[in-house]
Amino acid sequence: MSNHKLGRTTEDIKRELTAIFRELKDPRVTSCFLSIVRVEVTNDLSYCTVYISALEGMQKAKEAKKGLRSASGYIRRELGHRLKLRHVPELIFTPTDSIEYSAEISRILGSLNIKEDSDEENNAG
């Protein structure tokens, strides 16, 4: 499969998975703010690794992974209907702490007491 078509298919899968996640009723998935960080699809579309992250932390992401794994049959069927794929890839859900990590970095940066460049220029002149 050409690189451009694979990239477009990957983005389509990510978009549709986001919509499907909103429709799930499993409390392990709906009880947290779940986000798809990245989607990687193999060249032959046989496997799709979905990296998920929860705002509440890594433990919630691991719980959501269990809920997503139990609903993977439904998710694959919905994905096949929405994207009209001949072969729907097997979904592999991998939790990551990237949202929690970026929120921590943002908190640290926000707590720093750094003066703006424009303030220093006004005081110097």
pLDDT digits (tens, 9 = 90+) for 1-16: 667 888 898 999 999 9
Task: Of 13, 89, 102, give the one whose Cα is nearest residue 54.
Answer: 102
Task: Of 17, 4, 23, give the one whose Cα is nearest residue 79.
Answer: 17
Q: What is the pLDDT along the chain (125 residues), one digit of tens a residue?
A: 667 888 898 999 999 999 999 999 988 888 888 889 999 999 988 999 999 998 888 898 899 999 999 999 999 999 999 998 888 999 999 998 877 777 778 888 888 877 666 555 556 55
Strand partners, 53: 35
Secondary structure of 23-37 in HEC code, one letter for each residue: HCCCHHHHCCCEEEE
CB 49 within 8 Å of CB 37:
no
> Which domains, from first to last, does the chain contain?
3-111 (3.30.300.20)
Q: How far apart are CA 75 and CA 91, in angstroms?
A: 9
The phi and psi torsions of 55 (rounded to 5 degrees) equal: -65, -30
84 exposure class (CB count in 10 Å sphere: 0-12, 13-18, 19+):
exposed
Alpha-carbon torsion, ordered 40, 22, 65, 33, to 10 deg: 100
